Structure 1
Amino acid sequence: MTLSFETVDVFTDTRYGGNPLAVVFGAEGLPAERLQQIAREFNYSETTFVLPPEDPAHTARVRIFSTKREMPFAGHPNVGTAAVVGWRGELFGRPLGDTVLFEEIAGVVPVALTREGGAVTATTLTAPEAFSRHQEVPADQVAACLGLDVSAVTTARHAPVIGSVGLPFILAELSDAQAIRRATPVTARFADQPEVAANGAILCYARVAEPDLDIRARMFAPIRNVAEDPATGSACGALMGLLGTLETGSGTLRQRIAQGVEMGRPSLIRGAVDHADGTSTAVRIGGRSVRVMTGSIEG
């Protein structure tokens, strides 16, 4: 059985930047164990498998695998898969409109396609779940995991807290961009700090006043086999949900988030959250993708 694939770098318009993703077609009928093996073979943070939808009103069923497990939802796999599908122009014999609907474990994920001159140039997902805020995590535990002094973790707007729009992350604000650059994951601390170990992933961020940029962020999850991730759409979606709850009144907050810079894979994630009276009502994450490889593999 021969499968086709494309790889893309997501949240960038420059090859070898952003977050790499493999998108596989033709895996109908293969068991989950084989899909997991294929994902391990690519060895990217995630690989997606595009399958016929269970509901014909939707575009596709998309299964997302990390190197260890199937994921209910993830950000850059949706953004990148939508770009690949959009470039093809049709899927399973049907032409595509301006929005694709992906069936996933977390729910149906709508992804809007932005076109310029008829070509898809960017894609933007709407998170499948409303933002949910969970327990706080002690600042000293976060600091220990990031190799920082506790003073680098600011709690003026919020304490480190677990948030989710489909996948939970610890969200921690740092004092400034210098603290972001100094952060270094300490694997042993991720494992022995109890509130951190229970989740395993920290998105740290700092507000910045830079041209065309609002936030610098990094995501570490060494006990999940991700020392650092160059662009984490689901984590930045959770961050946007959290930031929406901190806004007053009603409106839409838009933020430009840089991630992956320290890894040499710079990414630009565009986030938006609709908010009303301290509640985030819809979260969107988007960006560009660029094709890197195409080919076939034996299933």
Structure 2
Amino acid sequence: MNPTPSSRPFHQVDVFAGNAYRGNPLAVVLDAHGLDAATMQHFANWTNLSETTFLLPAEDPRADYNVRIFTGSEEFPFAGHPTLGSAHTWLQAGGVPKSSGFVVQECGAGLVRIKRDAGRLAFAAPPLTRFEAVDEPLRRQLAVALGIPAGDIVDASWLVNGPEWIGVLLGSADQVMALVPDPVAMGNLKVGVIGPHLSGGDADFEVRTFIPGDAMVEDPVTGSFNAGAAQWLIGSGRAPRRYVAAQGTVLGRAGRVHVTAEDDDVWVGGESTTCIQGTVLL
């Protein structure tokens, strides 16, 4: 642990929602110089948010800053809403990108490009490091864990881009929102479920994501899963090259994830709002 705490700039940001307190919160320590990993992990556990990020000077000369991303129990090489929230905070604090077109974030998964898109920030989805259909026994486990007949699963695939997501496609958004998962049957699986809205509205798909732990947690809005799901669904022709996914509906949130495929890139974007701004002793 850091033996001599010092005052460091700190923001808490709401990500993936147009209105504050309706998306997914993120804690950001803007100057993490001198902090060791144990201190970062301890503080991330204390904030009790899904993720806390720590900004550092870039080591790669092509990057604008380096970010380390911690959940309450582990460090992630990449995560979506921490990427957008960290970039939003870095820019708000006066960060000036080296490139006129992109902010370049350095993280455990490598370099991630972030661009301004219609008043939002959007990141280029990193490559999937595991992308394959789940086997039949795992598909049966997923059906039991989600409390649905196996025949309701349209498709299921590994979508690993840092977090080890499994994506499950259902036939409709209503089926997604009606899920009552069994945490025991879910075990240690990180599962994201997506289904199309069939009756219009401001979103084309509904998403829910479930994260294992001492007690299974449903994440309000999940950029990394949406990035993998977009690559999967657009690549297979099941989703258009531009769409909006809603997430957090059953939790009383109003997350909106804006997806656009351009050339070889899939961009995942959303709005961010700073809700708390001050300093923290670390």
Both structures adopt the same fold (TM-score exceeding 0.5): yes
Aligned residue among 161, 164, 169 for 2:160 = 164
Q: Does 1:215 align with 2:205?
A: yes
Structure 1 position 114, deviation (Å): 4.0
Deviations 1:200-233 (A, max 9, x none): 1111111113223210110011337651001111
Scaled by the length of structure 1, what TM-score is found?
Answer: 0.84
Report the Cα distance in structure 2 between the residues aligned to 1:224 and 1:201, rounded to whole angstroms.
Answer: 13
Whole-angstrom distance in 2 between the partners of 1:176 and 1:260: 16
Q: 2:89 aligns with which of 77, 84, 102?
A: 84
Q: Compute the displacement of 1:130 (Å).
A: 4.7
- The one of 245, 260, 265 equivalent to 2:253 is 265
Is 1:295 paired with 2:271? no
1:9 alignment partner in structure 2? 14
CA separation in 2, counterparts of 1:269 and 1:133?
21
For structure 1, which segment, 239-248 or 263-272, has the greater mean C-alpha deviation from structure 2 after superposition?
Answer: 239-248
Answer yes or no: is 1:182 the counterpart of 2:171. Answer: no
Change (3 A) 1:37 1:113: same
SS state at 1:78 partner = helix
Deviation at 1:41, TM superposition (A): 1.3
| 2:267 maps to 1:284 | yes
- Please state if 1:206 is matched with 2:202: no
- Structure 2: gaps of 5 or more residues: 1-5
Q: Deviations over 1:113-137 (max 9, x none)?
A: 247xxxxx41000123257413414
1:50 to 1:124, Cα distance in 2 relative to 1, 3 A = same
Q: Which residue of 2 aligns with 1:240?
A: 230
Compute the displacement of 1:140 (Å): 2.6
Tell me by how many angstroms 1:147 deviates.
2.2
| 1:149 aligned residue | 149
Residues 68-100 of structure 1: CA deviation (Å, up to 9, x unaligned): 111000000001111112223326xx7884421
Are residue 46 (structure 1) and residue 51 (structure 2) matched? yes
Query: For the Cα contact (< 8 Å) 2:64–2:104, is it kept in 1?
Result: yes
| SS in structure 2 at match of 1:113 | strand
Query: For the Cα contact (< 8 Å) 2:128–2:228, is it kept in 1?
Result: no
The aligned amino acid for 1:107 is G
With over 3 angstroms needed to count, the CA separation of the structure-2 counterparts of 1:239 and 1:132, relative to structure 1, is same
Q: 1:133 aligns with which of 108, 131, 151?
A: 131
Alpha-carbon offset, residue 173 of structure 1: 1.0
TM-score, length-normalised on structure 2? 0.89
Residue aligned with 1:38, SS: helix
The residue number in structure 2 matching 1:113 is 116
State which drifts further: 98-107 or 254-263: 98-107
Secondary structure of the residue aligned to 2:132 is strand
1:59–1:102 CA contact under 8 A, matched in 2: yes
Contact 1:260 1:266 in 2 (8 A): yes
- Counting matched residue pairs gives 274
Q: Please tell me whether the aligned partners of residues 130 and 282 of structure 1 are also in contact (alpha carbons under 8 angstroms).
A: no
Could you tell me which residue of structure 1 aligns to residue 3 of structure 2? none
Q: Which one is further off, 98-107 or 164-173?
A: 164-173
Structure 2 letter corresponding to 1:202: V
Residue-by-residue CA offset, 1:158-206 (whole Å, 9 max, x unaligned):
x311113343311111122221121122111012xxxxx4xx1111111
Amino acid at match of 2:221: A
Residue in 1 aligned with 2:121? 123
Q: Percent identity?
A: 30
The residue type paired with residue 273 of structure 1 is: A
Contact 2:57 2:66 in 1 (8 A): yes
Q: CA RMSD in A?
A: 2.3
